[in-house]
Amino acid sequence: MNVLPLVTAFILLFAMGTYTLIHKLRGKTEESTHYAGGMRIHHENGMKYQEEIFKLLDGKEIQKEKQPRNEETQQSNRPVEYCSLRERENPLLQSKLNITFLLNEENAQLKQIAATLIRLLYEHAPFYRQGMENEVLNQVITVLTEYPAIEDFEELFIQCPNLYQLIKGTHKYRLHTSDGYPPLEDFISLDRSETMKKPIHFTFASRILLEAVFDDPRLVGEIYLGEKERWEEDHKHHQCTKQELEQLLAKRQKSLTDYDSLFFFTTERKGTDKYLIYDQASSVQVKIEK
């Protein structure tokens, strides 16, 4: 009697059972870790909310008592590594491309930039296919035109459920890699208010947005390095100015007037409208509305 088929069958059954058991144990472990991380994030968010309420008691913001700090203490509290305002994990409101300017009039330059930005954000994502960026952009513009009340991506999702992956994103990501992918709202704005004078606030525009605008990585790299070099002098952020950008473009036989319809330059900064809460134990990262 040939026992080889019987032994092989037992080995296969054992392998399948072992795989199933390991898979379930791993799933339970990850579920427990993420649940615990979520609870810790919920607790931290509650603390931040209570702190904001406390600051606004009686309608007056309570200022912490300013205590004298010597030069040595100030030096020790300074950041030791440069972190560009253009590459924040919790992006500034001014760093985003405002695509609502495409609703009022046809702007081929702006539309190309928006499509390029979407491609750069998702070209390494598993669901990306060539030309997808144009389909996404056209759909968003159509929906925003049809529903003027839409002001954020949560409302946009109701009309565009097929864009779930782009609107949701992953909880962590690294641009230009296959390590996760961002939510659209980190880099694109649907702000219809009149506070946005033009679609791009150059002073704080994200680095990947500048890559989409100029299609010149070396130029964007020079902007970044210039800002970093000035930060290293006093550990304060100094953004590239209009005059400095004009000089960089002139070296490439380009003119700033080519971007008149896109850029406005101010140093006013409003920060962000979300808390970024990261739980180190579980590596769970969540952005929560303030």
In terms of Cβ atoms closer than 10 Å to its own Cβ (0-12, 13-18, 19+), residue 199 is buried
Lowest mean pLDDT among 71-85, 189-203, 213-227: 71-85
Q: What are phi and psi of 50, to 5 degrees?
A: -65, -35
From CA 209, how far away is CA 91, in angstroms rounded?
12
User: Does pLDDT of 125 surpass 60?
Assistant: yes
From CA 115, how far away is CA 55, in angstroms rounded?
42
CA 229 to centroid of chain Cα atoms: 24
Lowest mean pLDDT among 17-21, 148-152, 285-289: 285-289
From CA 258, how far away is CA 196, in angstroms rounded?
19
From CA 206, how far away is CA 198, in angstroms rounded?
15
Contact 213, 113 (CB under 8 A): yes
From first CA to last CA, the distance across the chain in angstroms is 73
On whether the pTM is more than 0.85, the answer is no
From CA 253, how far away is CA 275, in angstroms rounded?
42
> Cβ–Cβ contacts within 10 Å for residue 4, how many?
8
Q: Which residue has the higher pLDDT, 268 or 138?
A: 138
User: Does pLDDT of 135 surpass 70?
Assistant: yes
Average pLDDT, the chain: 82
User: Does pLDDT of 157 surpass 60?
Assistant: yes
From CA 213, how far away is CA 200, in angstroms rounded?
10
From CA 271, how far away is CA 269, in angstroms rounded?
6
CA 188 to centroid of chain Cα atoms: 9
What distances in angstroms separate CA 57 from CA 45, 50, 62, one per listed residue? 19, 11, 8
Contact 120, 208 (CB under 8 A): yes
Lowest mean pLDDT among 26-35, 116-125, 201-210: 26-35
Q: How sure is the predictor about 18, in pLDDT bands with cuts at 50, 70 and 90?
A: confident
Query: Taking residues 160-166, what's their average pLDDT?
Result: 95
* Residue that has been written with the tokens 């002001």 in this structure: 151
DSSP state of 211: H
| Percentage of the chain modeled with pLDDT above 70 | 73
Q: How sure is the predictor about 229, in pLDDT bands with cuts at 50, 70 and 90?
A: very high
User: Does pLDDT of 165 surpass 90?
Assistant: yes
> Cβ–Cβ contacts within 10 Å for residue 49, how many?
13
